Amino acid sequence: EATKTKDFLGHPGGLSTLFFTEMWERMSYYGMRALLVLFMTASMQEGGMAITVASAAAIYGLYTGAVYFMGLPGGWIADRLIGGQRAVMYGGIIIMAGHIVLAIPSDATFFIGLILVVLGTGLLKPNIGAMVGQLYAKEDQRRDAGYTIYYMGINIGSMIGYFVCGWLQVEKGYHWAFGAAAIGMGLGLIQYKLTLNKLEGAGSEPTVKLSSGATKKAWTAIAAFLVGLAAITTMMMTGVITIDPVTVAKYVAAAITVVFLAYYAGIYFFGNLTPDEKKQLGALFLVCLASIFFWAGFEQAGSSLNLFGRDYTDRMIGTFEIPTAWFQSANSIFIIILSPFFAALWMNLGKRMITPSYGIKCAIGLIIMASGFIVMFFAAQIAAAGLKAAPFFLVATYFLHTVGELCLSPVALSAVSKLSPKRFAGQMMGVFVLTYSIGNVVAGLLAGSFDPENVEQMPGLYMQIALFSIAIGIVIALLTVKTKVWEKLAEKKDCNQN
Ligand code: GLN
């Protein structure tokens, strides 16, 4: 059947709609996020909030952890109540509102802005990603390539965000940069609205039908949640309750970990699984562990590494001073450059019948990421000596972090879809996303120990993070000797089903 919309790079036209919407959303997300810790820790004279590094890093970790966590209800709301298309539209509007609030030069409204971005992103991000898959018929071979193109859009957008917002912060101040994030999201929304027809109905309706009673209950629960959130926010802003972000982050990290373990154990013990399915879930557990430790290190990009860029890196090139946030663009740039090589690498290994297990790839990704912190150990020694490190150190660290990301992140996602029993596929993806949340909150706690007053401790801290993560990576690698056999059970099962 002929489609009316034009193709996008040999893919359904709807991919262009989602590509550019997500590109602008990521521009706003990473552009703002790159400045968050800098803004919170900057002095009042510099236009900042003068918060301690420990608190700022904890707030940052809670913020990014919450963004991932809210993806769970966000996906649920789209699937059962409003459909993906509306979820993306409303999510984008809420995100834009959040950035507009952040653009107001008042510390009083700061947390309202952050909460709006968290809620909006929870609604937008998982659903726009799911809609990419829905553009293709079940047997369409182009789906994986479609996701690769989509991932490019993510990273092109992030790169634009780092450059634009990072530059605006230096030239005009923080709130102008946050305003630019709002404009970026606005452009994405206009583009989305104008090209919505290209989606040809993908995500136009909820996929799971709820009874009218259940629908009512769901909306009541959402309303109750929002009222509770508003009440707590108001109490915080008026000083009725004061919270210590570091303490909250510790409890939240522990709480999400308990939820993660309980959910995992629940499916494992009470999901009526066959012995083979249990073994596959066992193998997947190692992937989840690797994911938690990976993001706990990786996500220091916006916190401890960002501060290292600001305070201990020589950012002068002649008379030009590199804006601090620009360093973080290294991740997006390396992703764009390296993705084709990794695609070719897995293909090539496949052709030679070398198929490394999911577990070993993730362990290797964790170890490569961790070795980035060895680079930081040397950089921190320069800082501890009272000098400024060359930009090379951060760029090399981000290079290793990106290579690690490409070994682990897409591999872990595909492991979840392959190793989870089909009837728990959606729920297991949700459980897996909790590993991002835990990792992000822990990253904030770790970054908080980089006290600028104790520069001499910095090399030791980076070395500890490196060695600890490498040790975990090695343990996981050793355990995959056992679990790679369990992973193979999934392939056997697939053969039988065909
Ligand atoms: N940078 C990618 C994005 O924002 C992936 C991040 C992740 O998987 N944690 O979509």
Q: With bands split at pLDDT 50, 70 and 90, how would you rate the model's confidence at 493? A: low
Q: What are phi and psi of 8, to 5 degrees?
A: -125, 105
**pLDDT computed for residue 138 by the predictor:** 82
ipTM of the complex: 0.95
Across 381-399, average pLDDT: 97
How many A from CA of 368 to the centre of ligand 1? 18
Nearest to 448 by CA among 111, 52, 50, 64: 52
**Closest-lying ligand 1 atom to the alpha carbon of residue 299:** 9
Residue 5 clears pLDDT 80, i.e. is over it:
no
| pLDDT one-digit tens code per residue, 451-487 | 888 899 999 999 999 999 999 999 999 999 989 989 9
Nearest CA to ligand 1 atom 2: 154
Residue 496 clears pLDDT 50, i.e. is over it:
no
Is 213 in contact with 67 (CB distance < 8 Å)?
no
Tell me whether residue 408 is exposed, middle or buried, using C-beta atoms within 10 angstroms of its C-beta: 0 to 12, 13 to 18, 19 or more. Answer: buried
**Closest-lying ligand 1 atom to the alpha carbon of residue 335:** 1
How many A from CA of 158 to the centre of ligand 1? 10
Nearest CA to ligand 1 atom 8: 409
Residue 72 clears pLDDT 50, i.e. is over it:
yes
Residue 367 clears pLDDT 90, i.e. is over it:
yes
How many A from CA of 329 to the centre of ligand 1? 13
Mutation test residue for ligand 1: of 398, 405, 411, 432, the one with most atoms within 8 Å of CB: 405
| pLDDT one-digit tens code per residue, 271-327 | 999 999 999 999 999 999 999 999 999 999 999 999 999 999 999 999 999 999 999
419 lines ligand 1 (CB under 6 A): no
Q: With bands split at pLDDT 50, 70 and 90, how would you rate the model's confidence at 354? A: confident
Contacts of 64 (CB under 8 A, 6+ apart): 33, 299, 302, 440, 443, 444
How many A from CA of 154 to the centre of ligand 1? 8
Q: With bands split at pLDDT 50, 70 and 90, how would you rate the model's confidence at 375? A: very high
Q: What is the mean pLDDT of the chain?
A: 93
| pLDDT one-digit tens code per residue, 9-25 | 889 999 999 999 999 99
329 lines ligand 1 (CB under 6 A): no
Nearest CA to ligand 1 atom 10: 154
How many A from CA of 152 to the centre of ligand 1? 11
28 lines ligand 1 (CB under 6 A): no
Considering only CA atoms, give the Rg of the chain: 22
68 lines ligand 1 (CB under 6 A): no
**pLDDT computed for residue 151 by the predictor:** 92
Is 255 in contact with 441 (CB distance < 8 Å)?
no
How many A from CA of 332 to the centre of ligand 1? 10
**Closest-lying ligand 1 atom to the alpha carbon of residue 155:** 1
**pLDDT computed for residue 207 by the predictor:** 87
Residue 491 clears pLDDT 80, i.e. is over it:
no
Which amino acid is it at 316?
M
**Closest-lying ligand 1 atom to the alpha carbon of residue 409:** 8
Q: With bands split at pLDDT 50, 70 and 90, how would you rate the model's confidence at 141? A: confident
| pTM of the predicted model as reported, rounded to 2 decimal places | 0.94
Percent of the chain with pLDDT over 70: 97
How many A from CA of 216 to the centre of ligand 1? 33
Mapped onto helix, strand or coil, the DSSP state of residue 321 is strand
Is 455 in contact with 307 (CB distance < 8 Å)?
no
Nearest CA to ligand 1 atom 9: 436
132 lines ligand 1 (CB under 6 A): no
Q: With bands split at pLDDT 50, 70 and 90, how would you rate the model's confidence at 497? A: very low
128: its two tokens: 């726009």
- Cα distances from 332 to residues 158, 301, 452, in angstroms, run 6, 12, 28
64 lines ligand 1 (CB under 6 A): no
Residue 221 clears pLDDT 60, i.e. is over it:
yes
DSSP for residue 156:
H
Q: With bands split at pLDDT 50, 70 and 90, how would you rate the model's confidence at 392? A: very high
Question: Of 90-104, 157-171, 244-258, 336-350, which gets the smallest average pLDDT?
Answer: 336-350
Strands (E), 59-177: none
**pLDDT computed for residue 417 by the predictor:** 84
How many A from CA of 67 to the centre of ligand 1? 11
435 lines ligand 1 (CB under 6 A): no
How many A from CA of 399 to the centre of ligand 1? 16
Residue 498 clears pLDDT 50, i.e. is over it:
no
Please report which helix (H) or strand (E) contains residue 320, including its range.
Answer: strand 320-321
